[in-house]
Amino acid sequence: MEEILSVKNLKKYFVKGGFARQKETVRAVDDISFSIKSGQTFVLAGESGSGKTTVARLILRSIEPESGDIIFDGIKITNDASSLKKIRTECQMIHQDPYASVDPRMKIFDIVREPLDIHAIGKPSERKDLVFAALRDVKLDPEEIASKYPHMLSGGQRQRVAIARSIATKPKLIIADEPVSMLDVSVRVGILELIKELQNKHGISFLYITHDLSTARYVGHVISILYLGKIVETGLINDVLLHPRHPYTQALMDSISEPNPANLQKEKKIRINEPIETDVYQGCRFRARCPYAIEKCKQEPELEPSGDKRSVACFVKID
Amino acid sequence: MTTLSIEELEVQYQLRDKTIRAVDKVSLFLKNNESLGIVGESACGKSTLGLAIIRSVPGGKIVNGDITLDGKSTLKMTEAEFAKTVRWKKISMVFQGAMNSLDPVFSIRQQFEEILQAHDYRGDRQKTINDIIDSVGLPPTVLDKFPHELSGGMKQRVVIAMALVLRPSLVIADEPTTALDVLVQAQILSLLKKLKKEGMSLILISHDLGIISEIADNVGIMYAGKIVEFGTLQEVYSNPKHPYTQALFKSMPKIKGEPELISLKGTPPNLANMQTGCRFYDRCTHAMEKCRKEPPKIKTESGHVLCWLYE
């Protein structure tokens, strides 16, 4: 299987403060490499502040990386017009909040049509059909919905409109940044099913960014766990989630409450310590909270293969 | 030791030309030292129900029904009497998003003192504050900090401590873990579990069936202003009866077990123009002709279900 996107040694630092305060460098994305196979869903999972959205912005080049390469569909993305045009038509994004990501003053038809106009896809006379086809693909009735405004739709429908807009340009890769976390439980599954269906029908690859490991397991094939700008564990989704090896992944799994009546009598145990003061950029970043930390963890662990198509960045590696 | 019982409670919001029936004929009970979970999606009325119990529904009105606390009706009390004897002293609440409502210009200690002052607390105030901050697992140094110096998880603990400071016997927690990171969420949850073990009764309002299963002895499933199913955690979770409850369980992605999901069609109804009959009618796979009529309240082993299927 061919790789649609490959990211190599990507780095992005932000500088915080400066006025009346000591300048501080935040390593939001620190030497991250991963690749997405064509037709697959790659999950980037982490808590807030782990740098997952920064990765998305770097891929679409809405911010400049410090260093590192992004190779999309065989072409290295740089600042020249042709590669930017390629990534911005063939790679689309779905945002978290469907209430903020669509223009409230535009009709649904125009919202979905806008990317076609911008990228001059199809003849103007054909664009109506393309818009209708995209709306049908996301299970919305174009006749009924095209002339409505976003406020007339429910959250789930709005997210479908955002998805229709993203598939209108026939992209090869869609970056979905927490696409269901703002939606109600009962409509979430519908959106997840839609993502799977679009993948099967059009062969679209997805980069699914989330903090929610249970929805990740439902749509994903491969997963990378991000902690403070570093990938700590990566592998096939069931391997990583069902048998986590990195202490951070284990803590994340411990923290999930499944709907099980047996939970009531059990104590909730999460394998982390109260954070101790450390310099996060010295050695393993999880060291401050890790219950297994040893002296060696003061050095930086590399992401190393640990069998079954998995890599873990940990000196201890607990099974 | 608290017993709370809610009978046929109705809470409405009046818009210009519409009445929103956010809580519609809800009956629930909470026995001594038990905890209750209210599960529902957004806009089902679950927060309104919580607010109604402490008689503070902004913009809304309790139009019918009764709430009894330890055998005494709280709705029949005057506002002054309720504020003096019940609110925060017997029942307190952790509001949704409350960690963002801490006042940025006062230290945490000053904000605790304000609560004690407002309730005429007699006793060693500083000791009370220190004890309570300790019981939520925070170091006393937190007291002299300002909200912006604390992390989300710490602020949430402070807010929980504020609800506990007058030692109420019942605390209502409305989505206490939402907007927190997963690890912090789990820590707040184990804190609530610990407090519960120490004898506090809790009403936990959440959309997350997993979180509810950590705390609640009894569960009410709320849909469009109604408690459609009520019973023990064991019964509702292992043998859900209402089609909505069943659908909710089937549509939740799980980490363990088969990732096979069935989605729910449609969206919840608009509370402003409610048709008669079962509110789940449009989305229900079992809908029948008689579901157009108000469903009966059928007794189950440990509670009730509002559904014609079990007539």
Q: Is the ipTM of this complex over 0.90?
A: no
Structural contact between residues A57 and A68, judged by C-beta atoms closer than 8 angstroms: no
Q: Which domain holds residue B248?
A: 242-311
Instruction: Check whether residue A163 and residue A305 sit in a common domain.
Output: no
Find the angle CA(B236)-CA(B240)-CA(B243) to the nearest 5 degrees: 135
Task: Identify the pLDDT of residue A317.
Answer: 67
Give how many domains chain B has, as a whole number: 2
Confidence bin at A1 (pLDDT 50/70/90): low
Q: First vs last Cα of chain A: how many Å apart?
A: 30
Residue numbers in B near A189 (CB within 8 A) = 251, 253, 261-264
Alpha-carbon span A146 to B221, nearest angstrom = 36
- Residue B49, min C-alpha distance to chain A (Å): 19
Please compute the mean of the pLDDT values over residues A263-284 and round it to a whole number: 85
Q: Does B256 touch chain A (CB under 8 A)?
A: yes
Q: How far apart are CA A313 and CA A304, in angstroms?
A: 6
As beta bridge partners, residue B13 has B20, B60
Q: What percent of chain A has pLDDT over 70?
A: 99
* Residue A271: exposure state from Cβ atoms within 10 A (0-12, 13-18, ≥19): middle
Domain assignment present for B250: yes
Select the residue from B36, B267, B279, B280 to test the A interface by mutation, using most A Cβ atoms within 10 A. Answer: B267
Which residues from chain B sit within 8 angstroms of residue A272, using beta carbons?
Answer: 183
pLDDT surpasses 80 at B260? no
Residue A283 predicted with pLDDT over 70: yes
Residue A109 backbone class (left: φ over 0; alpha: ψ -120 to 50; beta: rest): alpha
Residues A126 and A192 in one domain: yes
Q: What is the mean pLDDT of residues B273-291?
A: 89
- Residue A153 near chain B (CB below 8 Å): no
Each residue's pLDDT tens digit, B159-196: 999 999 999 999 999 999 887 888 888 888 999 999 99
Search chain A and give the residue with CA nearest B235. Answer: A261
Average pLDDT, rounded, for chain A: 91
- C-alpha distance from A89 to closest chain B C-alpha (Å): 31
The alpha carbon of residue B87 is apart from the nearest alpha carbon of chain A, in Å, by 28
B95 contacts B88 by C-beta, under 8 angstroms: no
B255–A217: do the CB atoms touch at under 8 Å? yes
pLDDT at B219 over 90: yes
Note the Cα B246 to chain centre separation in Å: 21
Would you call B19 an interface residue with chain A, using a CB distance cutoff of 8 Å? no
Local confidence band at B259 (pLDDT 50, 70, 90 cut-offs): low
Is B288 within the bounds of a domain?
yes
- pLDDT category at A319 given cuts 50, 70, 90 is low
Say if B209 is an interface residue toward chain A (CB within 8 Å).
yes
Fill in the DSSP letter of residue A295: G
Write the burial class of residue B298 (CB in 10 Å: 0-12 exposed, 13-18 middle, 19+ buried).
Answer: middle
Structure tokens at B251: 């549509």
Cβ contact A270:A254 at 8 Å: yes
First to last CA, chain B: 36
Let me know whether A140 and A168 are in one domain. yes
Better-scored residue on pLDDT, B309 or A187:
B309
pLDDT in tens, A40-87: 999 999 988 889 999 999 999 999 999 999 999 999 999 999 999 999
Residue B23: CA count within 13 A, CB half-sphere: 27
Give the pLDDT band of residue B258 (cuts 50, 70, 90): low
A41-45 and A67-72 beta bridge pairing:
unpaired
pLDDT more than 90, % of chain B: 70
How many domains does one find in chain A?
2
Q: What percent of chain B has pLDDT over 70?
A: 98
Stretch A120-139: mean pLDDT: 94
Q: What is the pLDDT of residues B53-62, one digit of tens each?
A: 999 999 999 9
List pLDDT tens digits, range A145-192. 999 999 998 888 999 999 999 999 999 999 999 999 888 888 888 999
Domain limit, last residue, from B198, B216, B234:
B216
Are A181 and A260 found together in one domain?
Answer: no
CA–CA dist A39, A293 (Å, integer): 38
Residues B209 and B260 in one domain: no
Q: What is the pLDDT of residue A318?
A: 67
The mean per-residue pLDDT over the stretch A268-277 comes to 83
B1 pLDDT higher than 60: no
pLDDT given for residue B311 in this prediction:
86
How far apart (Å, rounded) are the C-alpha atoms in residues A93 and A97?
12
Q: Is B207 in the A-facing interface, judged by CB distances under 8 Å?
A: yes
> Which 119-158 residues of chain B touch chain A by CB within 8 A?
none
Residues 6 or more apart from A62 whose CB is under 8 A from it? none
Residue A307 has pLDDT above 70, yes or no: yes
Residue ranges in B165-226 assigned as alpha helix (H): 182-197, 209-215
Give the residue on A whose Cα is nearest the Cα of B245.
Answer: A186
Q: For residue A3, count other CB atoms closer than 10 A to its CB.
A: 15
Inspect the interface and report whether the beta carbons of B248 and A192 lie closer than 8 Å.
Answer: no
Chain A environment of B268 (Cβ under 8 Å):
184, 186
Average per-residue pLDDT for chain B:
91
Q: Could you count the other beta carbons within 10 Å of the beta carbon of residue A31? A: 18
Confidence of residue B303 (pLDDT cuts 50, 70, 90): very high
- Is B116 in the same domain as B253? no
Domain holding A288, by residue range, is 245-319
Q: What is the CATH number of the domain that holds B133?
A: 3.40.50.300
Asked if A199 and A166 touch (Cβ cutoff 8 Å), the reply is no
Predicted local distance difference test score (pLDDT) of residue B269: 82
Q: Find where tokens 């292992």 sit.
A: B238
